[in-house]
Amino acid sequence: MKNLNLIFLVTLLLGFSASAQDTREIRVHDPVVAKEGDTYYLFNTGRGIGVYTSKDLQNWERGEAVFSEKPEWTDSVVADFRNHIWAPDIIKKGDTWYLYYSVSSFAKNTSAIGVATNKTLDPESEDYEWVDHGIVVRSVPDRDMWNAIDPNIIYDDNGTPWMSFGSFWNGLKMVKLNDSLTGIAKPEEWRTIARRERSFELDNKDPGDAALEAPFIFKKGDWYYQFLSWDLCCRGENSTYKVVVGRSKNATGPYVDKSGKPLNEGGGTLILQGNENWYGAGHNSVYSFDGKDYMFFHAYDANDDGAPKLGIKEIEWVNGWPTVQPMN
């Protein structure tokens, strides 16, 4: 691997123990990352929420899942839920880590976002224990025109916590959280932060054809940047996922793209997309580590039967806008 502008080829060898794996070969969807001490912790979609660790962002070792058994409440949202948990987000407040996660049925808005907490990410610590706090927000078919998946938490300049989330339907949403970060603040405050037009009238039974999901908001200087994924994930060579971005002076928006078009009106400046070697690059997260800004994402390897693999690219900023090197 020449540098972090090259996608890291990482494939998970299912069924092997961490010690038996080639730690450079992991398979992931929807990666998010936190750093504690000298170790990076990557959380991703998978059974019980997958976990990987690294000292250098290049070599990764598989750890134990967050949940060895599904949270008790999940069957009340998805019947006979099989502990395949989607799209986590990880933040730290004070001395506590908060891990948000999604429970859903594919292509339905039968969904909920939950949260668990821990004092440390180090499984060797005596303080290591994930404590689940249940549902933060839930979407219900025939009631809600939004989908409660793909959470991301951001604090605004006043120290107020907001959760952005969503997939398809009537766009991406943002809601104010309470001080405990385990529920919606009262009185409720909601925003729509991104939306695309559809070719037909939307109803509760169909997510629509204006695909967008997975908002991730990152503060850089005076601007909040909303990264989001357009088009279709999880279809191997038929995946059309891509990452677009807009920015705002306020965490709650309105966000506009480089041309000035609001994200609420279908705007979005393209920053990353796949090619003939890598299908459907998307569902990203963005962080500053050791003075550099990085984008984490997944893409499907055309040379490995469309396996989903981890991508990491260093972000460069040009005239106030993020850029990354194209896929190789």
Task: Name residues whose C-beta falls within 8 Å of residue 139's C-beta, 6 or more positions apart in sequence.
Answer: 109, 110, 111, 112, 146, 147, 148
Neighbours of 94 (CB within 10 A): 5
Residue with tokens 């992931």: 28
Catalytic hit among 25, 30, 89, 301: 30
- Please check whether residue 316 is in contact with residue 4, taking contact to mean a CB–CB distance below 8 angstroms: no
Dist. CA 60–CA 23, nearest whole Å: 5
Task: Name residues whose C-beta falls within 8 Å of residue 143's C-beta, 6 or more positions apart in sequence.
Answer: 204
| Reduced DSSP (H G I as helix, E B as strand, rest coil) percent helix, strand, coil of the chain, to 5 | 5, 45, 50
Residue 80 among the catalytic residues: no
Catalytic hit among 213, 231, 257, 301: 213
CA triplet 63, 68, 69: central angle to 5 degrees?
160
Residue 213 among the catalytic residues: yes
Three-state secondary structure call for residue 302: helix
Residues annotated as part of the active site: 30, 213
